[in-house]
């Protein structure tokens, strides 16, 4: 019996597989999948408990509780300068940004439409394209600045281009797209009437003087953008699975239908707590940023004296490393060999670079560390890295 010809083409997520591998090596430090190892903020947890005790335990409105949609509309007007967003017209609350992305793709793609993806990319985008029938086209981000070639991007647009997926701040590179780059993408989207799908889940995790800009804040992009986000990273709540997609009323109407039949709705009490989280003041985000800035610097300093050469991220909480020297010394053939070697030799779990590229060879000398961890976890990792100082 044939099973799906589409699901046959892709594998399970390597990022999540690395967490399962971590469980097989007691005592190892999991710097693979991006989730915090410290508690979520107490007041947000209290808000969830309160919602459950108040019996907000049945389905919410399919496309999101009124309080959460109002909170999202307020926050994006305030932080993202997205003034057009109305709670009733432009928002679909989903089970995490993962669902927001696949529901959005299903809502806009026709078979053989092309979708442009910056590479390296968060691995979900590949299967998202396949599952929605799109043909992905990859545009390289060149290290160490992770810039793209404007001409290469321009020639990849054509009449079949339906969307471009943008993730800023970026996973796995930490690149924060600049205003000039975004403006260039805006013009291409408008010329070819295609949609910028922007995953902004790391919008509050920024270093040095990097600034986050939402492509939907360009007024001309109101009808050509889908902005995806969630509470996972900003509030350290990756397991709650509350996210959303923001788009024009016309696009939102389609996303809502896909979302309804895929998942019906995100967890009702957690949506109430999410609404509370979104109302937190600026000091919360300043503290979050300071915390991650220290974590980034700590991991960077630990890696820079080794042959796992780190590239400093401008945002998000991952660090890509170039490991060619190290791999030569140990005769490691590819990035999965390297990751397994690092688990066995150091007790540190990372994500093989190949999982962020369409052609695995392009990432064969890289591995990704995440640093959304307690200071003591990063301290312990730093001590392990001393063993491989070059
Ligand atoms: N974004 C996280 C990462 O890249 C993981 C998200 C997930 O596993 N759903 O590690």
pLDDT tens, the chain, 390 aa long: 999 999 998 888 999 999 999 999 999 999 999 999 999 999 999 999 999 999 999 999 999 999 999 999 999 999 999 999 999 999 999 999 999 999 999 999 999 999 999 999 999 999 999 999 999 999 999 999 999 999 999 999 999 999 999 999 999 999 999 999 999 999 999 999 999 999 999 999 999 999 999 999 999 999 999 999 999 999 999 999 999 999 999 999 999 999 999 999 999 999 999 999 999 999 999 999 999 999 999 999 999 999 999 999 999 999 999 999 999 999 999 999 999 999 999 999 999 999 999 999 999 999 999 999 999 999 999 999 999 987
Helical ranges in the chain per DSSP H: 14-24, 42-53, 66-78, 96-108, 125-132, 150-156, 179-191, 249-263, 268-278, 282-304, 324-330, 335-346, 375-386
Question: Residues enclosing ligand 1, CB less than 6 A?
Answer: 15-16, 33-34, 98, 122, 171
| Nearest alpha carbon, ligand 1 atom 3 | 34
Ligand 1 atom, smallest distance to 122 CA: 4
Helices (H), 167-248: 179-191
Nearest atom in ligand 1 to the alpha carbon of residue 15 is: 10
With 0-12 / 13-18 / 19 or more C-beta atoms within 10 angstroms meaning exposed / middle / buried, residue 282 is exposed
Best of 22, 102, 122, 363 to mutate for ligand 1, by most ligand atoms within 8 A of CB?
122
pLDDT at 11: 87
Distance 32 CA to ligand 1 centre (A): 9
What sign does the CA torsion over 171, 99, 40, 15 have?
negative
Tell whether the torsion through CA atoms of 177, 16, 291 and 313 is positive or negative: negative
Q: What does the angle CA 165 – CA 170 – CA 175 come to, to the nearest 5 degrees?
A: 120
Q: Rounded to whole angstroms, what are the CA distances from 262 to 6, 162, 271, 362?
A: 18, 22, 18, 34
- Identify the residue whose C-alpha is closest to ligand 1 atom 2: 34
* Residue showing tokens 């030569």: 328
The per-residue pLDDT for 248 is: 98
- CA 83 / ligand 1 centre spacing (Å): 29
Best residue among 18, 33, 318, 351 to mutate for probing ligand 1's pocket (most ligand atoms within 8 Å of CB) is 33
- Distance in Å, CA 190 to ligand 1 centroid: 31
The token duo for 344 is 């066995």
All residues at 6 or more sequence positions from 202 whose CB lies less than 8 Å from its CB, including other chains:
168, 169, 170, 171, 233, 315, 316, 317
Q: Which two three-digit tokens encode residue 252?
A: 């939102």
Domain assignments of the chain as residue spans, ordered by start:
14-40+283-388, 42-280
DSSP 82: -
Tell me the per-residue pLDDT of 176-226, one tens digit each, with 9 for 90 and over: 999 999 999 999 999 999 999 999 999 999 999 999 999 999 999 999 999
Cα separation, 265 vs 262, in Å, equals 9
Give me the pLDDT at residue 389, please.
85
d(CA 118, CA 66): 34
Q: Determine the residue of 34, 199, 243 to mutate for testing ligand 1's pocket, defined as the one with the most ligand atoms within 8 A of the Cβ atom.
A: 34
Could you tell me which of 52, 379, 114, 65 has the C-alpha nearest to residue 242?
Answer: 65
- CATH number for 42-280 (one of 3.40.718.10, 3.40.640.10, 3.40.190.10, 2.40.170.20): it is 3.40.640.10
Closest ligand 1 atom to residue 96 Cα is 9
User: Given ligand 1 and candidates 15, 98, 319, which is best to mutate, with the most ligand atoms within 8 Å of its CB?
Assistant: 15
CATH architecture for the domain at 14-40+283-388: Alpha-Beta Complex (3.90)
Measured in Å, residue 329 CA sits from the centre of ligand 1 at 30
């Amino acid at each position: 019996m044939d099973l799906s010809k589409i699901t046959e083409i892709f594998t399970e997520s390597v990022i999540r597989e690395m967490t399962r591998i971590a469980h097989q090596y007691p005592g190892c430090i999991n710097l693979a999948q991006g989730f915090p190892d410290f508690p979520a903020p107490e007041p947000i947890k209290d808000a969830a408990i309160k919602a459950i005790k108040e019996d907000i335990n049945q389905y919410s409105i399919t496309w999101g509780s009124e309080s959460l949609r109002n909170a999202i509309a307020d926050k994006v007007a305030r932080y993202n300068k997205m003034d057009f967003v109305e709670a009733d017209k432009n928002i679909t609350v989903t089970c995490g940004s993962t669902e927001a992305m696949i529901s959005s793709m299903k809502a806009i793609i026709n078979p053989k439409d092309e979708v442009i993806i910056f590479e390296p990319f968060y691995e979900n985008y590949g299967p998202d394209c396949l599952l929605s029938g799109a043909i992905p086209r990859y545009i390289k981000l060149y290290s160490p600045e992770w810039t793209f070639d404007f001409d290469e991007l321009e020639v990849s647009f054509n009449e079949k281009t339906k969307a471009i997926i943008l993730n800023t701040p970026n996973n796995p590179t930490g690149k924060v797209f600049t205003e000039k780059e975004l403006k260039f993408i805006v013009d291409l989207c408008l010329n070819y009437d295609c949609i910028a799908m922007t995953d902004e889940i790391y919008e509050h995790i920024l270093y040095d003087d990097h600034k986050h800009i939402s492509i939907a804040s360009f007024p001309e992009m109101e009808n050509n953008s889908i902005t995806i986000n969630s509470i996972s990273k900003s509030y350290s709540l990756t397991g709650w699975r509350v996210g959303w997609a923001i788009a024009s009323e016309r696009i939102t109407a389609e996303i809502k239908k896909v979302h309804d039949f895929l998942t019906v709705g995100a967890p009702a009490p957690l949506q109430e707590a999410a609404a509370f989280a979104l109302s937190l003041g600026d000091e919360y985000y300043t503290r979050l940023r300071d915390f991650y800035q220290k974590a980034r610097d700590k991991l960077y300093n630990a890696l820079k004296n080794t042959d796992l050469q780190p590239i400093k991220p401008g945002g998000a909480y991952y660090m890509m490393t170039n490991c060619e020297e190290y791999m030569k010394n140990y005769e490691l053939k590819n990035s999965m060999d390297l990751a397994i070697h690092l688990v066995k030799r150091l007790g540190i779990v990372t994500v093989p670079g190949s999982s962020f590229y369409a052609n695995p060879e392009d990432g064969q000398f890289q591995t990704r560390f995440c640093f959304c961890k307690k200071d003591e976890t990063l301290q312990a990792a730093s001590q392990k890295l001393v063993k491989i100082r070059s």
